[in-house]
Chains A and B, each alone.
Chain A
Amino acid sequence: MKIRNKINISFIGSFIIISLLIGLVVGIYTTNLAKKDAFSYLHSSNRARAEHIRTFLQDQEKISVILAAASVYRDLLKEPIDSKNYHIIKTKIDKRLIRTIEADPQIFETFILDSNGKVVASSNKIEEGKDKSQDDYFIFAKDKTYIKDVYYSKTTNKFNYTISTPVKDDTGVLLGVSVLRYLPENFFNIVKSENGLGDTEENFLINKDKFFVTPSLFLSEDVILKEKVETKNANDCFDPKEVEYIKDNGYSKITENIGSQILESKDYRNVDVIATHAYIPDTGWCLITKVDKSDLLSFRSKLIWSLLLVLSISILIFILIGIIISKKITNPIKLLKLGAEKIKKGDLDYKVDVNTQDELGELSDVFNNMSQAVKQSKSEIEKKVEEQTKQINEKVKEFEDQNKAILNILEDVEREKSKVEGLANDLEKFKLAVDNASDQVVITDVEGIVVYGNKALERITGFKPEEAMGKKAGVLWKVPMPIEYYQNLWDIIKTQKKVFISEIQNKRKNGELYIANISISPVLDDKNDILYFVAIEHDITKEKEIDKAKTEFVSLASHQLRTPLSSINWYTEMLLAGDAGIINEEQKKYLEEVAIGNKRMVDLVDSLLNVSRLDLGTFVIEPEKTDVLEMIKSVVNELNPQIKNKNLKLEESYGENIKEFEADQKLLRMVFQNLLSNAVKYTGEGGSVKVNISILDKDHLFGGKVLDKKSLAFSVSDSGIGIPENQKDKMFLKLFRADNARESETEGTGLGLYIIKSIIDQSGGMVWFDSEEGKGSTFYVVFPETGMKKKEGTRKLD
């Protein structure tokens, strides 16, 4: 931790602790003080109100006494009712009673009772004559003024209280009673006025039976004389001792001992309150003053907030002061640190610039001296190290030279060793490979004497390699061949020094014949002299058998399929010829359809058979000198009826340089026939067909391809339906027909292009095409100018 932070933290930490302690003490003290203050205020407010109520009541008592003392009251009560004077006095009294009510709005009724309790005069005329002898305000007022507590008057339908005073003659004999009916609303106002102790401050009066006389702040107004207050305050208030004391002394002395008068208790809502009370002796009521404890204590939380505010402002000030002071202290230290780092990196000339006149200033001087001393000793050490390093380097050089020499020798040895090992390894590999090869391998010397035979030798011929060793190759297993065969063989391998390849029939040890492919190669040395011969034989007997079986199957199938077709063909022919009687036009038409259908079937069978031969690879390609032009012309001739029928424009272009060409006539004719008949077939009426053939030189551009040799190039273009773009790659697939071809021409096997592609590929040529759907196609065929490649096989294509 940095020094500045340390200083700051200790400053602020101690300040916070001190502030909290002070805050705590002040808080507690202030809270107590405030509480005491509130208690005192509560108490004095209560007493003042109680005094106010008493004064008010005493004033009303005085009024009642004054009224009752009036002579006119006595006159009325003394005068007999039937006298002449009575009426006059009565009128006077009536006026006086009305005036009394008008003078004080709190007096809502006043009346006079005679000594028997009967109403003789009233501000309310209806009351006159009624008997009130049983009422308290009559009974208890016979001797002195009496205040009847608040009650509900049925006659007036109001809460009221009465003050009644006896009317006596000069001798003290009771003449009657004067009664004043008061409304209690005046007390409501006295009780209601606020003192500022808080929102929950409340004053209310209860009567001696502890019922509400004034409304409650928290309950409805309907509490008067209905709800009872059973709190500790209410009970204490009516404690006989206290009542007696107040009757005798008033409130003055009690104020001195406030504590006992204040109660922390629950009020009628069962809420915690601070409360006090005062007994009102005149009516026997009790005035209760209280405030919610929470209201009183809210002051405390306000105090805490303001303390916190002061505290945080002070902390901010302290931080600022801390930063300034710590900077003063740490800046020189930072400079010292920087200096130490510079020196560590090697800058021994660096001087720390601290000029304070204190401990730090001294420290920086010592620091500068020290770095100077280090610089000096360092340069001495460097000099020594340099000398020693030089010596060591010389020694190392010597050692390295020696080492290199040794390594060179070792390397040479290693290289030789691995070379020899590699050779031995290779030899072993080759021997294993040859020993275990599936083909028979025989090595002979120049004279044809066997020097080696592998395992396959025994497997194929039945003779063990040991049996063949030292003998002329082949004597054990050969079937005598014409003498020319052997002459040719030796000529090729010995004289021409080339590889001899042939199919040969041999005989196994058990007398069984087998067919093999044999290849004999001479192995030559640097001077082109023969070292020995290697003969490899591959037994193909099984392949030959399978081949034969396949060929026979095709042959049989072709016969079997064609026989029923011939039947249909010939009988249809006979029917058409009328051999079975004359037929009508319609029958003729139908039979012709049968004949056409049958012809298609025959073509299909022919094509399928060709395909199966192509797939078997059993067909033969036998090139012979052929007049290609004549062949094309004859194919075109055959198609003439259709060309005329469709009114096609035919353009023929034949190169002059075409001589005789080596071709398998049947196959080449098939190619021409197929491509030309397709062109005619898929071109609409009035369209055009172009035939082109010529010999082109190497590097000539033909159908978008550069020819890699001199070639016979043939092309057929048409303005026909063309080939859809997305089907171009499938055109040479077996049984495939383009969608538009199928739609326009129902006839077609989807085999033609497949067959010619096979023929062309296998005879060394190439075929491809350009086409745009709806515009036409051009098919290109090229063969090497040297002719079609010969291919041996078991079958010709038909």
Chain B
Amino acid sequence: MNNNKVILVLEDERPLLEAIRLKLEKNGFEVVTARTVEQAKQYTEEIDHIDAIWLDHYLMGKENGLDFIAWCKEEDNAKCKEIPIFVVSNTASSEKVSTYMSLGAKKYFIKSNHRLDEIIKEIMETLLTKVII
């Protein structure tokens, strides 16, 4: 067991997923990747502790990011509901953003408008604050 933070990344585009993984690992994260909601749910249940979730809207399979966050933030999902979820998506319409936020997302990033290290920096800051609290 090491002190690395564990982060679950949901992203369907393989090249993006790869870039995210590499960059997160460089920044000291332990990265678990999933391309479907189903897979992500499984990992959430199987893995002991997850510090943060990186969520895209469009995913492989039938379900999308909204389905996942809705499932995760359910009252009785004790294991998942406390994990901060960072939505990183190109689907930038305002009501989508507000839906995610109302469902309990921590932050919403528009992929193409942000550098990876900006997003990672924000995630790390959030996690740090959480620890302090």
Contacts and interface: CB of A to CB of B under 8 A. Distances in A.
B9 to A, nearest CB: 13
A794 B26 CA distance: 41
A574 B112 contact: no
Contacts of B22: 574, 579
A567 interface: yes
Interface string A532-571: 0000000000000000000000010011011101110111
A33 B15 CA distance: 144
Contact of A574 (B57, B94, B95, B116): B116
A567 B15 contact: yes
A192 interface: no
Given A562-B111, A567-B13, A573-B116, A579 B90 contact: no
Contacts of A567: 13, 15-16, 19
Contacts, number: 71
Contact size range, A:
20 to 34
Interface in B11-48: 13, 15-16, 19-20, 22-23, 26
Nearest to B12: A563
Nearest to A562: B90
Nearest to B14: A567
B124 interface: no
Contacts of B94: 620, 795-798
Contacts of B113: 602, 606
A562 B112 contact: yes
A469 interface: no
A563 B92 contact: no
B91 A565 contact: no
Interface of B is mostly: helix
Contact of B112 (A555, A565, A571, A794): A565
B19 A562 contact: no
A566 B117 contact: no
A611 B30 CA distance: 41
A577 interface: yes
B13 A570 contact: no
A532 B58 CA distance: 54
A600 to B, nearest CB: 12
B60 interface: no
Contacts of A561: 90
Contact of A570 (B16, B89, B96): B16
A562 B90 CA distance: 6
A620 B95 CA distance: 11
B115 interface: yes
Given A579-B26, A796-B93, A796-B95, A563 B16 contact: yes
Contact of B23 (A566, A574, A602): A574
Contacts of A798: 92-94, 110
Contact of A566 (B16, B93, B95): B16
Contact size range, B:
20 to 34
A605 to B, nearest CB: 7
Nearest to A571: B19
Interface in A592-615: 602, 605-606
A606 B111 CA distance: 12
Interface string B91-114: 111111000000000000011110
B117 A558 contact: no
Given A567-B19, A574-B23, A795 B115 contact: no
Interface in A759-779: none
A570 B23 contact: yes
B54 to A, nearest CB: 13
A562 B19 CA distance: 16
Given A573-B115, A605-B112, A558 B92 contact: yes
Contacts of B23: 570, 574, 579
B57 to A, nearest CB: 8
Contacts of A796: 93-95
Contact of A577 (B15, B57, B117): B117
Contacts of B19: 567, 570-571, 574
Contacts of B96: 555
A9 to B, nearest CB: 113
Interface string B36-71: 000000000000000000000110000000000000
Contact of A569 (B13, B20, B91, B112): B112
B91 A558 contact: yes
Nearest to A555: B93
Contacts of B89: 559
B115 A569 contact: yes
Nearest to A566: B111
A602 B92 CA distance: 13
A349 B113 CA distance: 119
B87 to A, nearest CB: 13
A796 to B, nearest CB: 3
B112 A566 contact: yes
Contacts of B116: 570, 573-574
Given A573-B116, A579-B22, A555 B91 contact: yes
B93 A562 contact: no
13 contacts: A558-B93, A559-B57, A559-B89, A566-B90, A566-B111, A567-B15, A567-B19, A570-B16, A570-B20, A570-B116, A795-B94, A795-B95, A798-B110
The 4 closest A-B pairs by CB, nearest first: A796-B94, A562-B90, A566-B111, A562-B112
Given A563-B112, A566-B111, 19 more contacts: A559-B90, A559-B91, A562-B92, A562-B111, A563-B13, A563-B16, A565-B112, A566-B16, A567-B15, A567-B19, A569-B111, A570-B20, A573-B117, A574-B19, A574-B116, A620-B94, A795-B93, A795-B95, A798-B92
